Chains A and B, each alone.
Chain A
Amino acid sequence: MIVSRLASGALLPVGAFLATMLAVPFLLPNPYYLSILSLACMNAITAVGLNMLLGFAGQISLGHAAFCGLAAYATGIATATYGLPMWGSFLLAIGLVALVALLVGMPTLKLTGHYLAMGTLGFGIIVYIVFNESIEWTGGPSGMVGIPRLALFGHELWEDTEYYHLVTGVLCLVLLLSLNLIHSRFGRALKAIHTSEKAAMCIGVDIARYKLFVFVLSAVYAGIAGFLYAHYLGFIAPSSFGFHVSVQLVVMVVLGGMCSVWGAVAGAFFLTMLPEFLRVFENVETLIYGGILVFCMMFMPQGIVGGIGTLFRVLRRSFRPEAVSAQTGEERNG
């Protein structure tokens, strides 16, 4: 039964996504784009987790980059400084992130709305300052070098293509897990909490536990992304895990569309690749970036995925004029 649900629900779209992602490198003119796509996949892993927290459970976090950073520094210190094997350092990094998320989440998730935003923001800033100041461990603001490339079964993934395949695979696993969770009892509980905590509590949803669980889960996703990031670049610096990165992750989720898991993927790819496309504009690059952000949010309130859905409906309507009345009625209700 589980197999059939997997096949009908998540397996098909994720399979199609995987196939597209594996085909894309053959169309790319330049191997440089492959590294951008790899980074986009890592961001997408974090964004999918953050979307479960923000889009489905309705709890904001402005400190998720800190979880990426914790895993990146943990694995960096474990492998580069102490020479731990890769699997050991993976377990250590992810375990640390989960533990920190649990300890931070327990008091912080009692806050609501803007207070929660401030709480998670404060956590992110504190972690960022610790990365900067504990120089003997992290190398301080100038960063940490010499982190080994990821090795799987004794084989180091030196080729960018290999690493790209790995991060794509991990992203697909994360997507499969998330899509299944969202369509389970767990996902329905999250949506209930988002709609009304009071109502959710009344029908017997243990909201504190669900919130904490989804917070820790999203932190673990961020940790996985941070681990992959550290062993991809071999170099990490605090600025990659600062406040603006946390904000950018939230922007990815909202801009992509909070209504679906795919929205986070779309947002992460869009915002990771956008600066590369804007590079031709040199000085006015950030100006255009800000403009696009404002413009997208003003004219696509449902995000990229929602915007594509609207476009689809508009197109369908223009091809089938007889369906106009039914469509407008449907939209007014939804």
Chain B
Amino acid sequence: MDVSSSLQYLFSGLTVGATYGLTGLGFTIIFNTTGIINFAQGEFVMLGGMLAVICQSALGLPLPLAVLLAMLGATLIGAIVERVAIRPVRTAPPINLVIITIGISILIRSAMMLLWDKDTHTLPHFSGTDPITVLGATLMPQSLWILGITAVVLYGLRTFFRRSIFGKAMLACAHQRKAAWLVGIGVEGMVLLSFMISALVGAVGGVMLAPMTMTSYDVGILLGLKGFAACILGGLGNPFGAAAGGLAIGVLESFGAGMISSAYKDAFAFIILLLLLFVRPSGLFGKPEVRRV
């Protein structure tokens, strides 16, 4: 295999993988404050893309404004989900909460289908479609946008968790909810905040992926699965592990599709993930669970 085609696989893998990583990041943030896997995470990604499409094509807003409104809209929906469906039953067993998020994902998906339509849509590229050639491989400007925005989001979250009082409070909740509550942290508020942030992060991923891959009301299912795989691969609870896991899955898929078979590209990523879990049962960067003997 020559350099240019492997570079091509790497570019497309990293582009898609960045979105998986952002989705995985969303899973991780909610998992850290609540201990549940939010199956509606993929719908937040879908909302980002679809709300931007609605604002841009139906309301005729300029692209930057449409993107901003889509992100705000998804964040608002994240907050509503927490207030209406999660907070009233926060003491329920985790499996019940997971089933509730499954129901919510069905709700959001069918609401989007009813309010808008079943067609696939596309969003204009952020800055033109003239490909850049690097060592014989082509790179779309949108890919650079995706990688750049992902880096900004990661850096922003890192600063948020390290520097801001809210970020530190959220980390405290992730570490020990009861202790966080005892030192005066409003755990409920932090859960609300975590839903808003992960909806926002998901929507960012959806908005920037939409120009590359098209979007429709049901893209959230597959993206959600990939995001879940990303945060498990990176080690559940570690936001940067999730981002790295997403990139790894994207690259694996891309090389699998290019070198082995495009039909089996999804299977390829999952087989690697399973094999890795058998060797490292807590993912790449997860804390190995204390072996209880």
Measured CB to CB, the residues of A under 8 A from B are 54, 60, 107-108, 110-112, 114-115, 117-119, 121-123, 125-126, 129-130, 132-133, 197-198, 201, 243-244, 247, 250-251, 254-255, 258, 283-284, 286-287, 289-294, 297-298, 301
Q: Across the interface, do B114 and A301 meet the contact criterion of CB distance under 8 Å?
A: no
Contacts of B95 in A (CB 8 A): 54, 60, 254, 258
Chain A residue with Cβ nearest B39: A247
Rounded to whole angstroms, the CA-CA distance of A251 and B106 in the bound complex is: 13
B287 to chain A, nearest CB (A): 12
Contacts of A118 in B (CB 8 A): 228-229, 232, 273, 277
Chain A residue with Cβ nearest B100: A297
Contacts of B283 in A (CB 8 A): 115
Rounded to whole angstroms, the CA-CA distance of A286 and B96 in the bound complex is: 20
Number of interface residues of B (CB under 8 A): 45
| Given contact pairs A114-B236, A115-B282, A119-B274, A294 touches B85 in the complex (Cβ within 8 A) | yes
Rounded to whole angstroms, the CA-CA distance of A123 and B229 in the bound complex is: 12
Contacts of A114 in B (CB 8 A): 31, 37, 232, 236
Is there a chain A Cβ closer than 8 Å to B267's Cβ?
yes
Q: Across the interface, do B278 and A125 meet the contact criterion of CB distance under 8 Å?
A: no
Name the interface residues of B245-271: CB closer than 8 Å to any CB of A.
263-264, 266-267, 270-271
Measured CB to CB, the residues of B under 8 A from A are 31, 37, 39, 85, 88-89, 92-93, 95-96, 99-100, 102-107, 109-111, 113-114, 221, 225, 228-229, 232, 236, 263-264, 266-267, 270-271, 273-274, 277-278, 281-283, 289, 292-293
Q: Write 24 A-B pairs (CB below 8 A) sorted by A numbering.
A: A60-B95, A110-B278, A114-B37, A115-B277, A115-B282, A125-B225, A125-B266, A126-B271, A129-B263, A129-B267, A133-B264, A198-B292, A251-B102, A286-B106, A286-B110, A287-B107, A287-B110, A289-B106, A289-B110, A293-B103, A293-B106, A294-B103, A297-B89, A298-B88
Contacts of A117 in B (CB 8 A): 37
Contacts of A294 in B (CB 8 A): 85, 100, 103-104, 107
| Given contact pairs A115-B232, A251-B102, A286-B106, A298 touches B274 in the complex (Cβ within 8 A) | no
Given contacts A129-B267, A201-B293, A301-B96, 8 further A-B contacts (CB under 8 A): A112-B281, A115-B232, A115-B282, A119-B277, A123-B274, A251-B99, A293-B103, A294-B107
Q: Across the interface, do A293 and B102 meet the contact criterion of CB distance under 8 Å?
A: yes
| Given contact pairs A247-B102, A287-B107, A129 touches B266 in the complex (Cβ within 8 A) | yes
Rounded to whole angstroms, the CA-CA distance of A310 and B31 in the bound complex is: 31
Main secondary structure of the interface of B (DSSP, over half): helix
Contacts of B39 in A (CB 8 A): 247
| Given contact pairs A125-B270, A283-B114, A291 touches B292 in the complex (Cβ within 8 A) | no
A241 to chain B, nearest CB (A): 15
Rounded to whole angstroms, the CA-CA distance of A126 and B271 in the bound complex is: 7
Rounded to whole angstroms, the CA-CA distance of A4 and B133 in the bound complex is: 80
Contacts of A115 in B (CB 8 A): 232, 236, 277, 281-283
Contacts of B228 in A (CB 8 A): 118, 121
Q: Across the interface, do B277 and A298 meet the contact criterion of CB distance under 8 Å?
A: no
Q: Across the interface, do A287 and B266 meet the contact criterion of CB distance under 8 Å?
A: no
Rounded to whole angstroms, the CA-CA distance of A247 and B273 in the bound complex is: 20
Contacts of A126 in B (CB 8 A): 267, 270-271, 274
| Given contact pairs A123-B274, A125-B225, A290-B106, A255 touches B99 in the complex (Cβ within 8 A) | yes
B231 to chain A, nearest CB (A): 9
Q: Across the interface, do A290 and B104 meet the contact criterion of CB distance under 8 Å?
A: yes
Contacts of A250 in B (CB 8 A): 99
Contacts of B271 in A (CB 8 A): 122, 126
Chain A residue with Cβ nearest B88: A298
Q: Across the interface, do B85 and A254 meet the contact criterion of CB distance under 8 Å?
A: no
Rounded to whole angstroms, the CA-CA distance of A254 and B99 in the bound complex is: 8
From A107, A132, A298, A301, contact of B278 by CB (8 A): A107
Contacts of B111 in A (CB 8 A): 287
Chain B residue with Cβ nearest A120: B274
B111 to chain A, nearest CB (A): 6
Rounded to whole angstroms, the CA-CA distance of A111 and B114 in the bound complex is: 40
A132 to chain B, nearest CB (A): 8
Chain A residue with Cβ nearest B269: A122
| Given contact pairs A110-B278, A293-B102, A122 touches B92 in the complex (Cβ within 8 A) | no
Rounded to whole angstroms, the CA-CA distance of A121 and B227 in the bound complex is: 13
B139 to chain A, nearest CB (A): 29
| Given contact pairs A107-B278, A255-B99, A286-B106, A125 touches B267 in the complex (Cβ within 8 A) | yes
Q: Across the interface, do A111 and B96 meet the contact criterion of CB distance under 8 Å?
A: no
B190 to chain A, nearest CB (A): 20
| Given contact pairs A298-B100, A301-B96, A290 touches B282 in the complex (Cβ within 8 A) | no
